Amino acid sequence: MSSYNGAVPTSENGPDIHDAGDETWGSEAAQVLQRVFGYASFRQGQQEIIDHVVGGGDALVLMPTGGGKSLCYQIPALVRQGVGVVVSPLIALMQDQVDALRALGVRAGFLNSTQDYDERASVESAFLAGELDLLYLAPERLRTEATLRLLDRGKISLFAIDEAHCVAQWGHDFRPDYLALSTLHERWPDVPRIALTATATPATHAEIASRLNLEQARHFVASFDRPNIQYRIEPKNEPKRQLLKLIRAEHPGDAGIVYCLSRSSVEKIAEFLTDNGVQALPYHAGLDARTRAENQSRFLREDGLVMVATIAFGMGIDKPDVRFVAHLDLPKSVEGYYQETGRAGRDGLPSTAWLAYGLQDVVQQRKLIDTSEGDDAHRRRLGTHLEAMLALCETVECRRVRLLDYFGQRGDSCGNCDTCLTPPESWDGTVAAQKVLSTVFRLDRERRQRFGTGQIVDILLGRSTPKVLQHRHDSLTVFGVGTELGEAEWRAVVRQLLAQGLLTVEGDYGTLLLTEASSEVLGRRRQVMMRRQLHKQPQGEARAKGAKPRRMTQEDLPEEAVPVFERLRAWRAATAKEQGVPAYVIFHDATLREFAARMPSSLAELGTVSGVGENKLAKYGQEILDVLAEEGA
Ligand code: ADP
Ligand code: ZN
C-alpha cells in the first residue's frame, strides 16, 4: 500500500502499517476471515483497511479488480455492531452477491426495484430487527426520503460505496445518484464510510475524494499490478482467425470475454464462434433487456461460456474464473482497457489479456473523436486517451511497466507479457518514416483530393494501379522508392507513425496528414525507432503444451488429479444448477484444484483448504469427500 505523492492530499492521512491498539480487532477480523470465508491470511492491504474501518475510520480504497475489495467492508460489517449498508449500482447482480454471502452463512439482503412489496417488507423488517449483517442498496434508493427514514430506524455499522469511480466519470449513468452520497456523513456522522474502486488514475482518485467528501478519510492505494494476467497485444490481420486460434490453443472450454466496439461486430463474432464450436453469447445495448439479463446470467452460471460484448458488459461482474479477455477493437483509453482486462483471473489463476489492433482501428477511433459530441477540450481529452493507448500498443518496453506507469506506479519487467516473453526487435525506422512522410507531403500539396494509407503504400511500392495512374502519382519522385519493405510492413510503419504522433488521420477515408512533429523527421532532426512486427506468438504455443490442449485451470495439476478435478467440476455444476446460483458461489476453481491435488480424506483436513469456511464445510464437506473417494471412470 502506498499513497500518491502530491496528486492528492494523502500524506498526512497515509496508512500506517501498524496501528496501536488494533490487536483485538485484528484478531477478531482474522477469525472471521478464517471461519466465514475459509481463508488463512489477508491479501496485501486488506488487514490495514479492515482495522481502520472496524475502528470507525473513513477510507478510500483503490485496489485493482480481483484485489479483494469486498472483504474490506464485509469483514468490518461482521465485526462491528449493526448492519453494513452497501451501495452498489448493479441491480442485476445484487441477487448473486447476496446468494454468495448467504452460502457463507452471512445474513445478507438487498432492496431494489426488482422486488415486490412483500419481498421488500421482509427485508426491511429484518433490517430493523437487527437480523442482517449486510444490506445492499442501489444508489438511487438513498435519494428517497422513505429509505433514509428506514435507515434512521435501524443501526448501521458502516456505509460501503462500491464502484466509487461512478461519481467521477462524466456522463456516467449513475453519476447523479453517486453525487448525492456526499451527504451521508451529514446525516450519520458517526457511521464510517468506505469507498472502493478499481479505476484510478491520480486524476480520478482526486475527483472521487472531493466529490464524496472523503478528503479527510484515509486513502489506501494498493499496487495495481495483476501478476497472474498475461498481457499481449498483436497486430490485427485476420481477427476472427486469430481469436479462434487463441481460444483453441490456449483456452478450450474456458470462460472468457471478447470485447468489440459495435453491436454488429458483437453479433457476427458470437455467431462465428458458435459456428466453430465455441459456446458464445452476445451482449450489447441493442438487445432487449430480457435477453441481456438472460445471457449475463448464463455466463455467470454455466461453465466455459464466452461472452462477446460491447463495453456495456462487465461492470461489477465478479465471476472469478474468467480465463481470458480479448479485445478485437482498440479500447478508447488505457483506463478502460485496464478495467476490462482486469475482469480476467480474479481468482489469481493464470489468465490472458489479449488485444489485436490495426491501422483501421486508429482511423475509426479518430473519426469517432472528430464527430463526438462535446467541446474542443473534450475532444482533446479523448485524443490524449487514444494516444496513450496507442503508445501502449507500440511500446518495446514491458507492457506491465507501461500500464503501472499510467496509474502512477512503478514496476519491473514482468516476465509475463508479450514484450518480456518475446522481446520485439526495435529498428531504426527513420528512413522509412521519411519516405512515408514525404509521400504524404507531396499528396497533400495537391490539395484537391486527399489519400489514405492504401494509396501511399501503392506509391512507395511503385504499383501502377488505375488510381495511381489516374492521378499521375507514378510521376512523383517517391514512386517506387520503398521496395525494401512489403505491404504489411509499410502499414506497420504508418501505424507506428500514427502512434507516435508523427502522422494524423482525418475523415471518412482515413486521409493521412502531417503533424507539427513530422517536420522534425523530414528535416532529419529526429530519429524514429520502431517495433519489428512479430510473425509468431511463441508464448502461446509454449503454454499449450502437449497434443491435446488443456484447460488453463488444469495446467500444472498432476496428471492423476485432472480427472478428479473434472469430477468435482461436474458435481459443482449440478449443485449450482439445483440451487440456481452461479457455480463459483459453491466453490472457486482454485478450491476445487486444491481438493484434487491434496485429496483430503477427512472433514477436518478438508476444512484447511483455502475457500472452505465453516458453513460450506458443514453443507458440502461430506459430498466432496464422496466425490473424491469415487473410483475414477
Ligand atoms: P474485487 O472486488 O477487488 O475485484 P473481490 O473482493 O471480488 O475482488 O475478490 C477477488 C477474489 O479474491 C474473490 O474470489 C475473493 O473470494 C478472493 N479473496 C479475497 N480476499 C482473499 C484472501 N484474503 N484470501 C484468499 N482469497 C481472497
Ligand atoms: Zn512484461
Residue found under cell 484478531: 27
11: pLDDT confidence band, cut at 50, 70 and 90? Answer: very low
Chain segment 418-433, per-residue pLDDT in tens: 999 998 888 999 999 9
| The predicted structure's pLDDT at residue 8 | 38
Interatomic CA distance for residues 415 and 216, integer angstroms: 39
The pLDDT assigned to 552 comes to: 59
Q: Is 68 in the pocket of ligand 1 (CB under 6 A)?
A: yes
> What does the alpha-carbon distance between residue 342 and residue 48 come to, in Å, rounded to a whole number?
23
Is residue 546 in some structural domain? Answer: no
The DSSP bridge partners found for residue 137 are 87, 111
Q: Domain holding 584: CATH number? A: 1.10.150.80
pLDDT in tens, 194-237: 999 987 788 889 999 999 999 899 999 999 999 999 999 999 98
Q: Whose CA is nearest to atom 23 of ligand 1?
A: 42
Ligand 1 mutation pick, 70, 229, 616, max ligand atoms within 8 A of CB? 70
Task: Assess if residue 304 is contained within a domain.
Answer: yes
**Atom of ligand 1 lying closest to residue 198 CA:** 3
Q: Given this model, what pLDDT does residue 14 score? A: 40
- Grid cell digits, residue 589: 476453481
Mean pLDDT (the chain) is 88
Collapsing DSSP to helix, strand or coil, 91 comes out as helix
Residues 495 and 581 placed together within one structural domain of the fold = no
Instruction: Tell me which residue has its CA closest to atom 19 in ligand 1.
Output: 68
Q: Please indicate, yes or no, whether residues 497 and 451 belong to a single structural domain of this protein.
A: yes
**Is pLDDT of 16 > 60?**
no
Which residue's alpha carbon is at the smallest distance from atom 15 of ligand 1? 68
- Ligand 1 pocket test target in 37, 41, 75 with most atoms within 8 Å of CB: 37
The verdict on the CB of residue 66 being under 6 Å from ligand 1 is: yes
The pLDDT tens digits of the residues spanning 111-154 come to 988 899 999 999 999 999 999 999 999 998 988 899 999 999 99
Domain span at 253: 229-421
Predicted confidence at residue 170, as pLDDT, reads 62
SS3 annotation, 478-545: CCCCCCCCCHHHHHHHHHHHHHCCCEEEECCCCEEEECCCHHHHHCCCCCCEEECCCCCCHHHHHHCC
Would you say the CB of residue 600 lies under 6 angstroms from ligand 1?
Answer: no
pLDDT at 312 over 90: no
Mean pLDDT (whole number) for 544-562: 63
Whether residues 278 and 356 share a domain: the answer is yes
As a whole number, mean pLDDT of residues 625-629 equals 95
pLDDT of residue 399: 96
Provide the CB-side half-sphere exposure for 133 (13 A, CA): 18
- 40 CA from centroid of ligand 1 (Å): 12
396 and 443 fall within a common domain: no
Say how many domains are in the chain: 4
Strand extents, DSSP E, 57-171: 59-62, 83-87, 108-111, 134-137, 156-161
Q: Do 68 and 192 sit in the same domain of this protein?
A: yes
Lowest average pLDDT, out of 9-23, 68-82, 300-314, 391-405, goes to 9-23
65 lines ligand 1 (CB under 6 A): yes
Burial class (CB in 10 A: 0-12, 13-18, 19+), 86: buried
pLDDT of residue 533: 63
Question: In this model, does residue 366 exceed pLDDT 90?
Answer: no
User: Residue 68 C-alpha to ligand 1 middle, in angstroms?
Assistant: 4
pLDDT at 238: 93
User: What is the rounded average pLDDT of the residues 538-563?
Assistant: 60
Same domain as 388, residue 272 = yes
Residue percentage of the chain with pLDDT more than 70: 90
- Exposed/middle/buried for 371, CB within 10 Å: 0-12, 13-18, 19+? exposed
Domain-ending residue, one of 221, 248, 263: 221
pLDDT at 1: 57
**Confidence (pLDDT) at 302:** 87
Return the residue whose CA atom lies nearest to atom 10 of ligand 1. 66
Per-residue pLDDT at 632: 57
One domain for residues 473 and 613: no
Atom of ligand 1 nearest to the CA of 67: 3
Ligand 1 centroid to Cα of residue 412, in Å, is 24
Which of these three, 203, 221, 239, is where a domain ends?
221
**Ligand nearest the Cα atom of residue 401:** 2
> Do both 217 and 258 map to the same domain?
no
Helix axes 359-370, 376-394, angle to 10 degrees: 170
Nearest ligand 1 atom, CA 72: 6
Asked whether residue 536 is domain-assigned, the answer is no
334 and 469 co-located in one domain: no
Residue 537 lies in a domain: no
**475 and 391 inside one domain:** no
Q: What are the grid coordinates assigned to 17, written together? A: 502499517
Q: Is 39 in the pocket of ligand 1 (CB under 6 A)?
A: yes
Q: Which one of the ligands is nearest to 412 CA?
A: 2
- At residue 479, the pLDDT reads 95
Domain check: are 46 and 180 in the same one?
yes
Q: In angstroms, rounded to a whole number, what is the distance separating the alpha carbons of residues 593 and 434?
A: 56
Q: List, in order, residues 6 or more apart from 531 with CB less than 8 Å away.
A: 394, 395, 396, 424, 425, 426, 496
Single-letter amino acid code for the residue at 146? A
Torsion angles phi and psi, residue 41, rounded to 5:
-145, 160
Give yes or no for residue 320 CB within 6 A of ligand 1: yes
What 3-state class would DSSP assign to 219? strand
Rounded mean pLDDT, 369-384: 87
Whether 42 is in the pocket of ligand 1, judged by its Cβ within 6 Å, is: yes
Higher pLDDT pick, 364 / 605: 605
* pLDDT bucket at 550, cuts 50 / 70 / 90: low
Q: What is the pLDDT of residues 313-345, one digit of tens each?
A: 988 788 999 999 999 999 999 988 998 999 999
> Beta strands of 112-248 (E only): which ranges?
134-137, 156-161, 193-197, 218-221, 229-235
Instruction: Give the amino acid at 73.
Output: Y
The residue whose CA has the least distance to atom 20 of ligand 1 is: 68
Q: Indicate which CATH number applies to the domain containing 400.
A: 3.40.50.300
Checking if the pLDDT of 189 tops 90, the result is yes
For residues 273 and 417, state if they share a domain: yes
Closest residue by CA, ligand 1 atom 12 = 68
Domain edge (last residue) among 421, 441, 469? 421
Position 633 scores a pLDDT of: 47
Q: Is residue 379 part of a domain?
A: yes
Q: How confident is the model over 99-108, as pLDDT tens digits? A: 999 999 999 9
> Residue 20: which of 46, 68, 52 has the closest Cα?
52
Between residues 113 and 518, the one the model is more confident about:
518
3-state secondary structure 448-466: CCCCCHHHHHHHHHCCCCH
For residues 159-164, give the mean pLDDT: 94
Domain-located, residue 353: yes
